[in-house]
Structure 1
Amino acid sequence: MLTKTERLILSNQLQILKALNLGDGDYYDEKIKILQRGYAHYYDQVLDMVSDDIPEHISDEVFLILNMFRALQLSFEEWDGQEQPEASRPAASDMLSAKPGQIYPEILEFRGFSRHWEFQHFSFASFVIDEDGQYEEFSRPEGYDSLRPMLPQYRYMLRQWSLTGRKQALSLEEVRFITSLPDADAVRLFSRQRGQNTAN
């Protein structure tokens, strides 16, 4: 239920939006009438204009993913030009390296999130990049809908990145490690190295 004060505030806000010609006037008239006349049955139609809160753990995960891709891209630019093993290029849809040890620029590209399956991640990332102006290097004219779920692959890469201490300046070997398919020996190696660094 909405109090009379809440209804009045919302009604006034909608009248302002209507006066500014931000959308269909009839659309706003309908919402204003619902509020002014107290048609509680239809309040959900008015409140649907406001999305549910995006939990902080989701926004934190989006920032982590964007920071990881920033670290990968900047680090790879520093090391680009070093010889890499010859291998056929993976399909554009592949996120992780097709062969261990091979790095392609496409693998380091942030592809967004699935608008259908990962909407809250998609929505928040779109705002952070396009509206808030952070991470402008990831701006995509076509938008941030990956058309398929990306979180399983991103989370795998985040686990790999965490084993390096979430470093911003990564070695070429660490870039390979984060973007390559699972390798138990590599995981043990980086876990041991991180433990030694922490101990020191």
Structure 2
Amino acid sequence: MNMNHAQRLILSNQYEILSKLNPEKADYYHRCKTIVERGYCLQMLELEKEFGHLTEETCREVIDTLEMHHALKVSYENLPPEDQAQLAPSRLDFIGYARGYEKELADYVCYLLDVEKRFPDLGKCCAGLNSEIAMHDKYQRMLEEWRECPRQYKLSIQEIRNIVTA
């Protein structure tokens, strides 16, 4: 993180203000303030990690993943009961991304669900999502399969099964 002296002073002052506003995190903010004031480049890289960056393409992919899960649920609900009996509805649930491996993706989902209030029909909020394993690759395979379907909101049981097992 390259900052001039004025930017460092501004950021240092912001950390000071944050320490007053959030006394429970005061030690953390004082540490950040010291790093910025003294220009410890190695630790400033650590602070920079807190500023996420997702490309437009990645954001669209996450939205498409949530949209796909919505389409799976809608399609499943429109199937006849004998088809529904072939697949447990829990297999269609969006379980989120692994915070340990995919933090930026998980944070973006939280933003979409809790701040933007999008996809309320998924019945999830940020607190209810955290996969134990990395899911990005799995969701990409599922999206590829879903995009091949001619009617993405009127999926057959076989198409649903193909997507879920991708």
Normalised by the size of structure 2, how large is the TM-score? Answer: 0.78
- The 1:161/1:30 distance shift into structure 2, 3 A limit, reads closer
2:15–2:33: 8 Å Cα contact kept in structure 1? yes
**Structure 2: where are the runs of 5+ without partners?**
none
Confirm or deny that 1:158 pairs with 2:159.
no
Larger gyration radius, structure 1 or structure 2: 1
Mind listing any 5+ residue stretches in structure 1 that lack a counterpart? 87-101, 183-200
Structure 1 stretches of at least 4 aligned residues deviating more than 4 Å after TM superposition: none
1:22 Cα deviation from its structure 2 partner: 5.5
Instruction: Give the match for residue 54 of structure 1.
Output: 54
Shift of 1:48: 4.0
Query: 1:57-136 alignment to 2 at 5 Å?
Result: 57-79=57-79, 81-84=80-83, 102-136=86-120
Amino acid at match of 2:44: D
Shift of 1:172: 4.1
- Structure 1 residues 11, 105: CA separation in 2 closer, same or farther (over 3 Å shift)? same
Query: What does 1:165-176 align with in structure 2 at a 5 Å threshold?
Result: 165=150, 167-176=152-161
Cα deviation for residue 140 of structure 1 reads: 4.6
Aligned to 1:92: none
Shift of 1:164: 1.2
CA 1:31–1:142: 2 relative to 1, 3 Å: closer
The one-letter amino acid of 1:160's match is: E
Length, aligned pairs only? 163
TM-score, length basis structure 1: 0.67
My pick for the range that moved more, 4-13 or 18-27, is 18-27
Shift of 1:175: 2.6
Q: What percentage of residue pairs aligned between the two structures are identical? A: 29
User: Residue in 2 aligned with 1:31?
Assistant: 32
| Partner SS state of residue 24, structure 1 | helix
Greater fraction of residues in helix: 2
Aligned: 1:14 with 2:11: no
1:143–1:48 CA distance, 2 compared to 1 (3 A):
farther
Q: What is the RMSD computed on CA atoms of the aligned residues?
A: 2.9
- Maintained 8 Å contact 1:68/1:166: no
